[in-house]
Amino acid sequence: MMPTSKAFLILTPCRTGTRDRCRRTLHLNCLTENLICASGRLDSLNKAHQNHARIVAVPLSTMLGFTSILLLLGTSRLVFAADIKDSLDSLGIVASFPGDVTYTSASSPFNLRFSVQPAAITYPKTVNDISEILKVGAAENVSVVARSGGHSYIANGLGGRNGALVVDLSNMTNVSIDSAKGIALIETGNRLGDIAVALGDAGRGLPHGSSSGGFGFTSRMWGLTLDTIDAANVVLANGTIARALRGSASSFAIVTSIEVRTFPAPPTGTIFQYSWDGLNTTTAAQIIATIQRFVQVHDIPPHLGGEINLFRGAVRGTISISFAGGWYAHIEKLNATVNPLLRQLPTTSRTSFFTGTYLETAENLAGGSLDTKSAPDGHDTFYAKSLLTPESSPMSDAAILAYTTYLANEGFSAEVGWFIQMELYGGKNSAINAVSPDATAFAHRRSIFSIQFYSSAPNNVPPYPQSGFTFLDGLVESIISNSPQDWNYG
Ligand SMILES: Cc1cc2nc3c(=O)[nH]c(=O)nc-3n(C[C@H](O)[C@H](O)[C@H](O)COP(=O)(O)OP(=O)(O)OC[C@H]3O[C@@H](n4cnc5c(N)ncnc54)[C@H](O)[C@@H]3O)c2cc1C
């Protein structure tokens, strides 16, 4: 029992609907966005206020000075976490809180350059659970964020900053397919490997990345994943369960499942790679410029998807390049499509081809297995950037040479590991560019390449060195500074 004759500081989370009432009656002040406080005599509070405010009370003498305020903020957060825990427990929703043995791995982002401490990570099993979690978040005035694959580059699946209530969707893994209509309903906790297997078993396919994301080698043929979405089932911030159309502002709602249009899986596919090693900067630049020109001029079929990969050379002044991709038709036709390009390029150092069923090609791209359950989630410590090259203003020869020269020199001595993927979005017959720029949230429908610049800390573990930022920023700048001033690179 707290003595009622002394002065007290009252510090409590602001609660929906109570904050203004408290303020009017008790002249409370907001200390931070989430906390209200007042000083006074506890015996001046009536019972109702004591109950609804869940007061943290300490002797007034301790509230003078900055240190004590910080202490109190910490105390209040404990009360706040306890409130969330009580609410989730009563709903039967599993959650991991700071201090729990599961918390460290549950709150570990894919990119270890970031360290984020969520208020809790919740594991709903149903749409209704998600609705209840959002209501708890609203009642406690805490940010709620969804985590699906967890591959955000900046830990946004954990809220991107401390204190979020994370809705981990890993238990939401239903996939149902209406084979007659080719429509699939996919819950958003599914991993791409599981989706590929479920659809592949039904003779269907969907465009997506090899380990993550909406772009993959089938995208010139089928588009980006987002282009296949007819509707999204969502839970709004206030807990309302709704069906929404494609496209929204960020954090509009938590998507619990998507309704997608699937495609008949092609009977056969080939994953290919043409590699050139030990290239000097001029030859490397010529290869890139030749491929860029080829995809713009030739009538390449949509069945060809690909990317140009750039890697560190074995000696200073050199780099390695590969043109890798997927071909989703008979292999004979691959030769007919690619040979006119290869005839313009130096003799390859190596080539590799894998031909199989559509599902086998997906497995090959995933490193040999689509099994998402037996291996633990990986991590990296990385810094990445991207830019899109407009079809109307392709990379200039000067920009390409500056880029290969930078990689062959600064790239050779860089402290960080790196790779670059120039993903082929455009060229004739690309389903990505067949969509109008204003039809979806992705507006860059007139691009040739989407270039991913990616660099990892030594051994992929923290700390990520400062020199890595300088290297990668300089690399992107080598292209931009050799391009028109109004170059629209996304
Ligand atoms: C190793 C690796 C490989 C990659 N490969 C490719 C590739 O081949 N092709 C490609 O296109 N991209 C690729 N990417 C990029 C990838 O597309 C993005 O990182 C993508 O955002 C990851 O989605 P996620 O669900 O895994 O991320 P999460 O971290 O779970 O979420 C990302 C953001 O979306 C929000 N969010 C997640 N789920 C929901 C939901 N259900 N409702 C509402 N909001 C939600 C999160 O709150 C967060 O803000 C790759 C990334 C990595 C790390």
Which of 116, 151, 172, 185, when mutated, tests ligand 1's pocket best, judged by the most ligand atoms within 8 Å of its CB?
Answer: 151
CA distances to 294, 436, 480 from 392, in Å: 15, 15, 16
Instruction: For residue 85, tell me if it sits in a domain.
Output: no
Residue 185 DSSP class: E
**Average pLDDT for consecutive 10-residue bins of the chain (490 residues)?**
38 39 33 36 40 36 38 52 92 97 97 97 98 96 95 95 96 96 97 96 96 94 96 94 74 92 97 98 98 96 98 98 97 94 98 97 95 86 98 97 98 98 97 95 95 98 98 98 95
Instruction: For residue 87, tell me if it sits in a domain.
Output: no
The per-residue pLDDT for 243 is: 87
Rounded distance from Cα 17 to ligand 1 centre (Å) = 35
Distance (Å, whole) CA 392 – CA 413: 34
- 267: helix, strand or coil: coil
Residue ID of nearest Cα to ligand 1 atom 12 = 213
Closest CA relative to residue 130, chosen from 147, 118, 109: 147
Distance (Å, whole) CA 83 – CA 62: 25
- Domain extent at residue 48: 7-79
CA 439 to chain centre: 22
Instruction: For residue 489, tell me if it sits in a domain.
Output: no
Residues 290 and 193 in one domain: no
**What is the number of the ligand 1 atom nearest to the C-alpha of 147?**
30
Instruction: For residue 106, tell me if it sits in a domain.
Output: yes
H or E stretch at 200: helix 192-201
Q: What is the CA radius of gyration of the chain?
A: 27
Residues 250 and 290 in one domain: no
**What is the number of the ligand 1 atom nearest to the C-alpha of 213?**
17
Rounded distance from Cα 186 to ligand 1 centre (Å) = 16
Of 79, 105, 127, which residue sits at a domain end?
79
Residues 141 and 15 in one domain: no
The position carrying tokens 């009580």 is 86
Question: Which residues, in sequence order, are CB contacts of 276 under 8 Å at separation 6+?
Answer: 283, 284, 287, 320, 321, 322, 345, 346, 348, 349
Rounded distance from Cα 238 to ligand 1 centre (Å) = 24
Q: Which CATH number do you get for residue 242?
A: 3.30.465.10
Residues 206 and 184 in one domain: yes
Residues 187 and 153 in one domain: no
Which of 147, 227, 255, when mutated, tests ligand 1's pocket best, judged by the most ligand atoms within 8 Å of its CB?
Answer: 147
Residues 398 and 413 in one domain: yes
Which residues form the pocket of ligand 1, taking CB atoms under 6 Å from any ligand atom? 110, 145-153, 156-157, 169, 188, 209-216, 254-255
In terms of Cβ atoms closer than 10 Å to its own Cβ (0-12, 13-18, 19+), residue 1 is: exposed
Residue ID of nearest Cα to ligand 1 atom 28 = 150
Which of 121, 148, 243, 442, when mutated, tests ligand 1's pocket best, judged by the most ligand atoms within 8 Å of its CB?
Answer: 148
Q: Which long-range contacts (CB under 8 A, 24 or more apart) does 236-239 make?
A: 236/134, 237/134, 237/138, 237/144, 238/134, 238/135, 238/138, 239/131, 239/132, 239/134, 239/135, 239/138
Question: Which residues, in sequence order, are CB contacts of 291 under 8 Å at separation 6+?
Answer: 308, 323, 341, 345
Of 119, 151, 168, which residue sits at a domain end?
168
User: What's the pTM value of the predicted model, to 2 decimals?
Assistant: 0.85
Residue ID of nearest Cα to ligand 1 atom 26 = 149
The per-residue pLDDT for 79 is: 54
Residues 246 and 274 in one domain: no
Residue ID of nearest Cα to ligand 1 atom 21 = 152
Residues 327 and 440 in one domain: yes
The per-residue pLDDT for 338 is: 97
H or E stretch at 308: strand 304-312
The per-residue pLDDT for 31 is: 34
